[in-house]
Chains A and B, each alone.
Chain A
């Protein structure tokens, strides 16, 4: 016989009530951990995806859309901007790096982004295998793309137009894989990167509407065609290669990009540069951090509500455990007095009560932890692939410790309140009352 066994026997004698305490506690722990993990996962995922991009410049429109499309690659672009104008703007001394991106195609749903190698620096992504594309029509794959599509160096594929996988609008120039990137757990993992020329070339080969010289001719031709596509993709498949080459230099000035990603040299630029761009150019500057924070203020509300509910349940669980213990101490006052006549010290009685509470706490913690993981697993299974990565981001150990600390503090408070009658116990008085 020992104190643990006494606690345990006592719990056994009121198994249902003990089970209720465990379940209530487990539920609150599961909710607290689950909410924290979702919150943390989404936040980290977005922050990761922002990389070190301080500012994004693109076509006029919604700044949030610009950030979502050009930085998080989750939305359609606002439009295109002139490469020349963007380059002129990038000469600003406050700008450390400015990386152009241009896109509009996908392969099996993975976005093909034309850019420069500096793009990888935003995400600290390293070339895992192979090289960065040297020539047009060469691509390097993000880690997730390489893994999911099982593509290797030397493989080639045909991209399709738009940002959603489709079999109707397929380009006829194959892209060749020349490298893969190491995994970063950032948005770059889900991209196919190539140089700007590839993107331009794919569309140049297939359209010529921006060839100034041929504009009139172009317009005529356009009229004769079905207008089932947007401007850039209007087909001109029979366009002469030689003509294109001839005008190559000329139309360099009319190249377009989707957005320019900027990293500041000096944080002061944060104040001036966006305003000046928005005012003086026909381009739009958006601050990713600011836009995402604004977005999270809306989306965070649900999670906040959920965590308040979790705290509510935690409070109720603490009350349940307090009532449980207090009931035992009061109803079993005679038993406890009896133990004192056997030679038990008050501290030993307190231990019996505390062991019970801690036992409930420990079992509930294990249960709650399992419950939160199972819950998240089910959620991941049900949600689209884009969020899997975010939800599976492990919660830092500190969050676990904080939650457990909170739970054990609640238990300790419950114990403190419940053991008061033990400390104040008048054995003689209780025994004199004779019948328990």
Chain B
């Protein structure tokens, strides 16, 4: 369950505040945030991920208003409850695919058993390359690794930043299907922020910035 109230953010003193609409999502509810570039989409995403502190307002995830948490507590909260999918997928290049997942789990301080990791890798068709170095992976494998990294620790909120905008129609559909599937499996709310209108049909709830 996600609640966002009265949220605003200011980059520097003297500049105008970004004001964001209220959001309220029940369990299993997902949402699409649409808007042209420069309107503050990424800012909203970073606020929701706890990477930025809002000027005002509350963000309640998993019954916790994390805007009020200390730095360390916020790091822990983020590690445990938030999963981020980036437009271009990044992972630590000195590690293998599996080691990246293990690193993710290390910092989220979550215990996930090996069979569970294997099951996820299998679902995302990454089993064959789990011991490969990141720079040997294909675009598609990287895209799927990005999703795996966002859901491996079973977060309460999955945030995706333009996950499909660089993909063709075919891959766009596949990625959306995987995201929704994983959100369902982990019982997480999914918020996708994009200017990609192709994926509108996947969502019942949409807000326009």
User: Which of these, B46, B88, B109, B149, contacts A428 with CB under 8 Å?
Assistant: B46
Known: A432-B42, A435-B88. Is A342-B107 also a contact (CB below 8 A)? yes
User: Which of these, B43, B46, B71, B104, contacts A342 with CB under 8 Å?
Assistant: B104
CB distance from B99 to the nearest CB of A (A): 6
Docked complex Cα distance between A334 and B75 (Å): 17
Residues in B106-157 with C-beta less than 8 Å from chain A? 106-109, 149
A6 to chain B: which residues have CB within 8 Å? Answer: 92, 95, 103
Stretch in contact with the other chain, from A61-69, A195-203, A343-351: A343-351
User: B105 an interface residue at 8 Å Cβ cutoff?
Assistant: yes
Say yes or no: A428 contacts B52, CB within 8 Å. Answer: yes
CB distance from A118 to the nearest CB of B (A): 72
Q: Fill in one digit per residue for B33-48: 1 if any A CB lies within 8 Å of its CB, else 0.
A: 0000000001100100
Docked complex Cα distance between A344 and B79 (Å): 7
Q: Fill in one digit per residue for B81-93: 1 if any A CB lies within 8 Å of its CB, else 0.
A: 0101011101111
User: A287 an interface residue at 8 Å Cβ cutoff?
Assistant: no
Residue of B nearest to A3 (CB): B106
B interface, over-half SS = helix
Say yes or no: A341 contacts B78, CB within 8 Å. Answer: yes
Residue of A nearest to B99 (CB): A1
Docked complex Cα distance between A267 and B106 (Å): 71
CB distance from A337 to the nearest CB of B (A): 9
User: A149 an interface residue at 8 Å Cβ cutoff?
Assistant: no
User: B164 an interface residue at 8 Å Cβ cutoff?
Assistant: no
User: Which of these, B42, B49, B99, B105, contacts A341 with CB under 8 Å?
Assistant: B49
Docked complex Cα distance between A386 and B80 (Å): 70
A339 to chain B: which residues have CB within 8 Å? Answer: 92, 103, 107
Residue of B nearest to A11 (CB): B94
Say yes or no: B94 contacts A342, CB within 8 Å. Answer: no
Docked complex Cα distance between A258 and B105 (Å): 83
User: B72 an interface residue at 8 Å Cβ cutoff?
Assistant: yes
User: B189 an interface residue at 8 Å Cβ cutoff?
Assistant: no
Say yes or no: B103 contacts A436, CB within 8 Å. Answer: no
Say yes or no: B92 contacts A335, CB within 8 Å. Answer: yes
CB distance from B146 to the nearest CB of A (A): 11
A-B interface pairs (CB < 8 A), number? 74
Say yes or no: B95 contacts A9, CB within 8 Å. Answer: yes
User: A385 an interface residue at 8 Å Cβ cutoff?
Assistant: no
User: Which of these, A340, A342, A427, contacts B108 with CB under 8 Å?
Assistant: A342
User: B102 an interface residue at 8 Å Cβ cutoff?
Assistant: yes
Interface size on B, residues (CB 8 A): 34
Say yes or no: A334 contacts B76, CB within 8 Å. Answer: no
User: A48 an interface residue at 8 Å Cβ cutoff?
Assistant: no
B95 to chain A: which residues have CB within 8 Å? Answer: 6, 9
User: B177 an interface residue at 8 Å Cβ cutoff?
Assistant: no
B103 to chain A: which residues have CB within 8 Å? Answer: 1, 6, 339, 342
User: Which of these, A2, A338, A345, A346, contacts B92 with CB under 8 Å?
Assistant: A338
User: Which of these, B42, B93, B102, B109, contacts A343 with CB under 8 Å?
Assistant: B109
User: B51 an interface residue at 8 Å Cβ cutoff?
Assistant: yes
A interface, over-half SS = helix
CB distance from A113 to the nearest CB of B (A): 69
B72 to chain A: which residues have CB within 8 Å? Answer: 345
CB distance from B141 to the nearest CB of A (A): 18
Q: Fill in one digit per residue for B44-74: 1 if any A CB lies within 8 Å of its CB, else 0.
A: 0010010110000000000000000001100
Say yes or no: B94 contacts A10, CB within 8 Å. Answer: yes
A435 to chain B: which residues have CB within 8 Å? Answer: 88
Residue of B nearest to A6 (CB): B103
Say yes or no: B75 contacts A343, CB within 8 Å. Answer: yes
A12 to chain B: which residues have CB within 8 Å? Answer: 94
Say yes or no: B87 contacts A431, CB within 8 Å. Answer: no
CB distance from B84 to the nearest CB of A (A): 5
Residue of A nearest to B92 (CB): A335
Say yes or no: A427 contacts B106, CB within 8 Å. Answer: no
B82 to chain A: which residues have CB within 8 Å? Answer: 341
Say yes or no: B75 contacts A345, CB within 8 Å. Answer: yes
Say yes or no: B80 contacts A436, CB within 8 Å. Answer: no
B42 to chain A: which residues have CB within 8 Å? Answer: 432
Docked complex Cα distance between A6 and B92 (Å): 10
Say yes or no: B87 contacts A2, CB within 8 Å. Answer: no
Residue of B nearest to A5 (CB): B99
Say yes or no: B51 contacts A1, CB within 8 Å. Answer: no
User: A398 an interface residue at 8 Å Cβ cutoff?
Assistant: no
User: A434 an interface residue at 8 Å Cβ cutoff?
Assistant: yes
Say yes or no: B90 contacts A436, CB within 8 Å. Answer: yes
Say yes or no: A1 contacts B106, CB within 8 Å. Answer: yes
Q: Fill in one digit per residue for A413-427: 1 if any B CB lies within 8 Å of its CB, else 0.
A: 000000000000001
> Closest 9 A-B residue pairs measured CB to CB?
A343-B79, A13-B94, A1-B102, A342-B107, A343-B107, A428-B46, A344-B107, A1-B106, A345-B75
Given A428-B46, A432-B42, A435-B88, 16 additional A-B pairs, CB 8 A: A1-B105, A1-B106, A6-B92, A6-B103, A9-B94, A335-B92, A340-B75, A341-B51, A342-B107, A343-B75, A343-B109, A344-B75, A345-B71, A431-B51, A434-B87, A434-B88
* 6 residue pairs from A and B, CB less than 8 Å apart: A334-B90, A342-B104, A343-B108, A344-B107, A432-B42, A436-B90
